[in-house]
Amino acid sequence: MDGEAPARKAIRHLGVKKIAHACDLTTDAVHKWANRGGGLIPAEHQGAVLALAERERAPLTAEDMIGVAQ
């Protein structure tokens, strides 16, 4: 992992609106992951974000979603 928080990295590559739509959330909820959620993507949404990343061909891995070092 490059030190960037998982939520921030996902938002940078995919955008808040796309993530919110994929997870059936508001954009405010997604922003909270990055700003108040410790930068983590909640476990119940990691699969949806990873699937979105695969569809969008974004350079995000499962390790990126959970924030583990590679």
Determine if the pTM surpasses 0.75: yes
Residue 70 is predicted with a pLDDT of 47
CATH number of 6-66: 1.10.260
Q: How far apart are CA 23 and CA 65, in angstroms?
A: 14
pLDDT at 25: 97
**Cβ-contact 11, 5 below 8 angstroms:** no
* Whole-angstrom Cα Rg for the chain: 11
Position 69 confidence tier, pLDDT thresholds 50, 70, 90: low
Domain ranges for the chain, please list them.
6-66
Residue 46 and residue 30: Cα distance in Å, rounded? 12
Q: What is the pLDDT of residues 45-68, one digit of tens each?
A: 999 999 999 999 999 999 888 876
Per-residue pLDDT at 1: 44
